[in-house]
Amino acid sequence: MPALDLDGTTLTYRDLDRAVDRWIERYEPGARGYDASTLPLGEALICICAAARRGVPVAVEDPAARPHRSVWPATAFLLVATSGSTGHPRPLARTAASWYDSFPAFTEITGVRPRDRVLITGPLHATMHLFGALHALWCGACVTDHPARATVVHAVPAILRDVVPRAPRLRTAIVAGIAADPGALAAARHLRVIEYYGSSEVSLVATRQVPAPLRLLPGVRARIRDGLLSVRSPYTVLGAPDWFDVGDLAELGDDGELRVHGRGEAVINVGGTTVVAEDVERVLGGIDGVAAAAVIGSPHAVFGETVTAAVQLDGTGVEEVRRRARDLLTREAMPRRWVQVPEMPTTAAGKIARGRLKDLLV
């Protein structure tokens, strides 16, 4: 079984083992360890495996937006960063165990097996893709960038909709980054869809097999204060507080069911009614002809805020989307302003870059 099937090159696990040895012989780790940030996907994974074998840190950061990092903990393995969806990326560091210890539970719910070919659909500096690639190698599966050969895919909803028609062998879709919208779920309706919720800082928090509800991962505890989610977990980054404030609006059931409503800063107060931006985005994203949708709050002299929608369209017009949205949204959640954009600003992980979106819409 191959370990890597990337960029037209296939390496078996024996080949990968030898490539890691050659990397160690050829490259000194430098002052802060290895740096995989600018390497192609296959080389980056070899570099990361070499760092693990050598016991040194490895940076996997966005080369176009690297966070300032002057020091890092002595026990650090991965030097990563937040996605920057609401601002500049923040530097993070985590141990190998903070991910590897969650792999057995993640394997149980995803069903990834050694014979699978796991498609990674984004750069490794987006931690959901790095997590997916390292989990696949831990399972003895193959990491690939060929949709036609893939049996499992890690993707955000917008990418999933694009990948499914090109991946006839898929049996499982693993969705993260943002909640799956109706359009993405419809595209993957013939697949086993696994969705997980987490963040760069706390890793896995809750998982589900669609359509079951999200439930906390074993060993993870959660609490709600003022409507916002805090998490206590063995999978957090180094230096995180015992209870980490994730910043998402959420509800927690007595049976461990977790309902996440989106980022606290993405809440729009329309005349005293709370409108959660991500809820509106999921509705708009499920309308035929909407390739992507994002909403923000705009100041209003009477209502405090109203909803502004940015839509990336494919085969329909704004007026038709507006007409359909009226039947799906409450009066408060219905956008007052609509802006068609040629391409939605997103982070490398596929999340809406709300800071850039606000700059675009003002």
Q: Do the beta carbons of residue 50 and residue 24 sit within 8 Å?
A: yes
Q: What is the mean pLDDT of residues 208-217?
A: 94
Is residue 30 one of the residues assigned to a domain? yes
CATH number reported for the structural domain that contains residue 347 in this entry: 3.30.300.30
Specify if 27 maps to a domain: yes
Q: Is the pLDDT of residue 87 over 70?
A: no
Residues 203 and 321 in one domain: no
Sign of CA dihedral 58, 5, 128, 222: negative
Type of residue found at 52: A
Residues 199 and 328 in one domain: no
240 and 281 both lie in a single domain? no
How many other CB atoms sit within 10 Å of the CB of residue 226?
6
Residue 49 in this model has a pLDDT that exceeds 70: yes
Task: Indicate the pTM of the whole model.
Answer: 0.80
Band the pLDDT of 85: cuts 50, 70, 90.
low
Q: What is the pLDDT of residue 55?
A: 94
Same domain, 65 and 89: yes
Residue 265 is assigned to a structural domain of this protein = no
Is 71 in the same domain as 134?
Answer: yes
Instruction: Say what the pLDDT of residue 37 is.
Output: 95
Predicted local distance difference test score (pLDDT) of residue 227: 84
Question: Residue 131 falls within a domain, yes or no?
Answer: yes
ω into 211 cis (within 30 of 0): yes
Same domain, yes or no, for 194 and 301? no
Do 335 and 285 share a structural domain?
A: yes
Tell whether 308 and 254 lie within a shared domain: no
Under the banding of pLDDT at 50, 70 and 90, the label for residue 70 is confident
pLDDT-wise least confident of 201-210, 296-305, 314-323: 296-305
The reply to whether 222 falls in a domain is yes
239 and 286 fall within a common domain? no
Domain boundary (259, 286, 321) is at: 259
What pLDDT does residue 357 have?
A: 81
End position of a domain, from candidates 233, 259, 285: 259
The structural domain count of the chain equals: 2
Let me know if residue 264 belongs to a domain: no
Provide the domain limits for residue 279: 271-361
pLDDT confidence of residue 347:
74
Shared domain for 227 and 287, answered yes or no, is no
Q: State the pLDDT at residue 323.
A: 93
Using one digit for the tens of pLDDT, what is the confidence trace for 8-29?
Answer: 899 999 999 999 999 999 999 9
Is residue 268 over pLDDT 90?
no
357 and 220 in one domain? Answer: no
* pLDDT class of 65 with cuts at 50, 70, 90: confident
Per the CB < 8 A criterion, the answer to whether 133 and 155 are in contact is no
In a domain, 218, yes or no: yes
- The domain that holds 60 is classified in CATH as 3.40.50.12780
Please tell me the predicted confidence (pLDDT) of residue 88: 66
Q: How far apart are CA 6 and CA 16, in angstroms?
A: 12
Q: Could you tell me if residue 266 is inside a domain?
A: no
Distance CA 328, CA 319 (A): 15
Residue after which a domain boundary falls, among 228, 259, 290: 259
Neighbours of 263 (CB within 10 A): 21
pLDDT of residue 279: 83
Q: Is the same domain home to 240 and 287?
A: no
